[in-house]
Every structure is written in C-alpha cells, then in structure tokens.
C-alpha cells in the first residue's frame, strides 16, 4: 500500500521498534556506557533512568507531531506548519548540514570494528566506509520495510550480546550497588547527562519515516516510545556490566571496552569476532536510518518533476538516496585526505542535532494541544538547558542557524505539506 505522497506504507510497530532502537543504540552502546562510568562511577546507575525521564517529554513531542502531521519532511515539515517556509528551509539545510560531519563520523566508528580482521590500516578503514555506503544504497533501493526487518534482527543481536555479558559475568540484579540519592555528585551526573543525551539522537531522523507506517496515527507513537525504552534499558544494562566487572578505570579505549569484556569472559576468538560483527551491524543500522531519513528529506523538498523528486518502481526516493550517498563518499574521501580527527566531527555535529530538536519542540508548542503541547513546552526548556550545558560546543550550530537565516534567499518556496 502507498501513502498519499507515494511512499510505500509497510511498517508496523515491531519493525518501527527495530528501526528506532538500532538507530538509538548505534555507535553509542559500545562507547557511551564506558565514558559515563569513567565520569560518574556508580552514580551513572541513576543517570540513565534520569535521562529517560528527561528525554520522555521530547519523545512525546516527536510522537505527537509524527502522529498528527506525518510527512517525509520530518522536522522541516513541522517547522513549516508552525513558523512558515522560511524557517523551515533553514531547518532543512541545518539538518542536511550534518551529512558532511555526522555520517562520516559514524562510518569511521563502524569501520573500526573491522580492525581485528583488516588491521588498523587507514586505507582499509576507508574502503570499509565506502563499501558500507554502497550496502546502504542497495538496502535503501528497496522499501523501508526491508531495512526494518534487517534492523529488527540487529536490535535482537545487540540485546542478546548484553544478556550474554550479564550471564558470563554472573551479574545478579539484586547485587547491584545503587548509591543513595543523597550521596550523588550532581556536577558529575550533569556532565554524564550531557554525554548520554547523544544516545537518544535519532528521534528526528525517525520522524521522516512516519508516513511509511501502515497506520501512522496508531503505530508511529507506539514504536517511538517502545524503541526509546528498549534503548534506555540496554544502555543501563551495559553500564551495570562495566561497573560490576570493574573495568571502567582501565586504559582500554571506551569504544573497545565491551569487546574486551567479551574477550575476557569467554576467551573464544570466534565469540570475540562475533561481538565485533554485532558492533559493526549496530553502527550500520544507525547510519542506515540516518541516510534513509536524509534521502526522504531531500526528496520531500525537491522541486516537482525534478530528478530528486522522483520515486523508483519500489516507491523509494532512489535518486535522492544516491545524492546523499555520493555526498557522503566525497566527504569521507576529503576527511581521509585532511586526516580530520573523529572527535572534531562529532563535536560540531552534536550541536546541530540539539538545535533541530529545539526547533521541533517549539513547533510542537504551536501545533499541538493538551498534554502533548505541555510535553513540547517541557522539551523546549530541556533542549535550551542542554545547549547551555554543552557550552561552547554548541556555538557552531548557532552560527550555522544565523548564517542560514540571513544567507538563504528571502524568496521561499512552500514546503510540501502533504
């Protein structure tokens, strides 16, 4: 079945949960729990539930916007309805400005999981990045349901890996050392929250797929909330394992910590390689949903009748996807040539995501009613607080917003609303 805008509607709740949970877990599940454990120790046990509570209003806001105003334009579409086409165009370009930074960064992390097989060879790592983009293009040439089925399987593998670590480490939930709330170090906890928020970057990309659900009004918000909770539980489970096994103070890089735990617990080369493969697949899933989301945004904003505005026989925006993949390949090659560090790419991309969240929540304040509107208001306040917590790292996003606002032509074309 096809939606009114031509995209194929073949997503259900289970497939939606698979898409979102793998998007949220992505690269973060193999790095962030270790970083958080180093920052706040046992206090991080409370930090994860606190983060879920804080992100909950933002998730409700996205769920309500996707439920009542489903559109492949995602964030730009919501902003268009609330504030008009000019700010929507700025939002669209702001979101697309992540492509040269965020996608290559995620691809670099994904490619590192192949190091046990190919070694830490820069050329080999670059080839893995380019081949990953080719695989994403091939997968994206089919319907979203095809991606969802594969990513649901990846989500199950990640959950099983964490469960295996708990089993191998003989972790007993009743023996978890929860610190008393009165003893929490709030400065350390806030530092952890600033890092942990990036684990829930992915909600805005998921919004681009809202029109591809068989029943968007019912299934989209359910998939979003369930996927978010599953991701939160998995992150908390990883943190518990790192704390209980007392490995977070080691010299091992955060991205390799869970893999080293697997190697120590099971002492089997095949299991270690399997964990590396799961790590790569989790990263692949995250990059995939972002790439598909970018493609749908480009397609939804393309001029009617243009090549980028066409759908393939499989009812997917293949031309737009090809443009996004090609741009990502060029950026990967340029970053390789300039030898830009991964941390630089991530720092600049992070502020963009928070700002896009803020614009969506502000749009929700105008478009939504009742409890959903209240959640959008709370979400707006939380996004502003996060920008303050991030500090100077958010200046790039604010500068980009100002440049786009004043630099884009004042004559705006109305965004596709239906």
Domain of 65: which CATH number? 1.20.1740.10
- Angle ∠(114,120,121) on CA atoms, nearest 5: 105
DSSP tag of 394: G
According to the model, what pLDDT value does residue 209 have? 65
Give 165-173 contacts, CB < 8 A, sequence gap 24+: 165/238, 165/241, 165/258, 165/261, 165/262, 165/265, 166/237, 166/240, 166/241, 168/262, 168/265, 168/266, 169/241, 169/244, 169/245, 169/261, 169/265, 171/240, 171/241, 171/244, 171/245
Q: Does a structural domain hold residue 157? A: yes
Q: Does a structural domain hold residue 7? A: no
Q: Does a structural domain hold residue 3? A: no
DSSP tag of 11: B
CA 89 vs CA 64, 96, 170, 207: distances in Å: 22, 11, 53, 17
Task: Please give the structure tokens belonging to residue 337.
Answer: 């040539």
Scanning 245-268, the segments in alpha helix (DSSP H) are 254-266
Longest Cα separation, the chain: 63
Task: Going residue by residue through the chain, which has 418 residues, state the pLDDT in tens, using 9 for 90 and above.
Answer: 444 445 556 677 787 787 777 777 776 777 788 878 877 888 888 888 888 888 888 888 887 887 788 776 778 888 999 999 889 889 888 887 888 877 888 888 888 888 777 777 788 889 999 999 999 888 877 765 555 667 678 778 888 888 888 998 888 887 787 887 777 777 777 777 777 776 777 676 666 666 677 777 778 778 888 888 888 888 888 888 888 887 766 566 666 777 788 888 887 788 888 888 888 888 887 788 778 878 877 887 677 777 777 777 767 778 888 888 998 999 899 988 888 776 667 767 778 888 888 999 999 999 998 888 998 999 899 888 878 776 677 788 888 888 888 887 665 444 444 3
Look at the block and give the residue holding tokens 């799961």: 278
The domain total for the chain is 1
According to the model, what pLDDT value does residue 295 have? 84
- Whether the CB-CB separation of 43 and 192 falls below 8 Å is answered with yes
Work out whether the CA dihedral 5, 8, 12, 14 comes out positive or negative.
negative
Q: Does a structural domain hold residue 221? A: yes
Q: Does a structural domain hold residue 1? A: no
Q: Does a structural domain hold residue 5? A: no
Q: Residue 47: which of 197, 203, 211 has the closest Cα?
A: 197
Residues 6+ apart with CB under 8 A from 115: 125
DSSP tag of 41: G
Q: Is 410 helix (H, G, I), strand (E, B) or coil?
A: coil
Q: Does a structural domain hold residue 277? A: yes
Q: Does a structural domain hold residue 417? A: no
User: What distance in Å separates the CA atoms of residue 323 and residue 302, rounded to the nearest whole number?
Assistant: 12
Range of the domain at 59: 13-407
């Amino acid at each position: 079945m096809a939606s009114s805008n031509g995209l194929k509607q073949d997503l259900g709740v289970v497939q939606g949960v698979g898409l979102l949970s793998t998007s949220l877990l992505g690269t973060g599940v193999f790095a962030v729990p270790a970083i958080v454990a180093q920052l706040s120790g046992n206090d991080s046990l409370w930090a994860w539930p606190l983060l879920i509570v804080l992100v909950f209003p933002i998730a409700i806001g996205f769920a309500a916007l996707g439920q009542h105003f489903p559109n492949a334009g995602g964030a730009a579409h919501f902003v268009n309805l609330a504030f008009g086409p000019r700010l929507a165009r700025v939002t669209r370009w702001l979101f697309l400005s992540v492509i040269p930074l965020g996608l290559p960064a995620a691809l670099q992390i994904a490619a590192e999981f192949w190091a046990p097989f190919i070694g830490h060879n820069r050329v080999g790592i670059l080839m893995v990045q380019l081949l990953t983009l080719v695989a994403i293009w091939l997968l994206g040439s089919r319907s979203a349901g095809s991606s969802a089925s594969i990513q649901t399987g990846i989500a199950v593998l990640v959950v099983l890996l964490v469960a295996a670590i708990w089993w191998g480490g003989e972790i007993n939930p009743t023996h978890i050392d929860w610190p008393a709330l009165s003893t929490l170090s709030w400065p350390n906890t806030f530092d952890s929250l600033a890092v942990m928020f990036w684990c829930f970057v992915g909600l805005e990309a998921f919004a681009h797929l809202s029109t591809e659900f068989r029943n968007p009004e019912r299934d989209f918000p359910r998939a979003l909330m369930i996927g978010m909770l599953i991701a939160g539980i998995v992150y908390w489970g990883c943190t518990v394992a790192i704390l209980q096994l007392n490995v977070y103070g080691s010299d091992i890089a955060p991205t390799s910590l869970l893999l080293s735990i697997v190697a120590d617990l099971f002492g089997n080369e095949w299991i270690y390689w399997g964990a590396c493969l799961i790590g790569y697949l989790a990263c692949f899933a995250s990059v995939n949903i972002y790439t598909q989301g970018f493609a749908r945004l480009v397609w939804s904003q393309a001029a009617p009748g243009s090549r980028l505005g066409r759908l393939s026989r499989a009812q997917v925006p293949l031309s737009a996807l090809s443009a996004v993949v090609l741009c990502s390949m060029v950026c990967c090659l340029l970053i390789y040539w300039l030898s830009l560090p991964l941390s630089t790419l991530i720092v600049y991309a992070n502020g963009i995501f928070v700002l896009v969240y803020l614009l969506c929540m502000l749009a929700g304040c105008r478009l939504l009613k009742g409890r959903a509107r209240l959640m959008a208001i709370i979400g707006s306040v939380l996004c502003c607080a996060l920008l303050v917590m991030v500090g100077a790292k958010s200046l790039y996003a604010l500068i980009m917003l100002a440049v786009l606002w004043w630099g884009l032509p004042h004559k705006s074309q109305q965004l596709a609303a239906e």
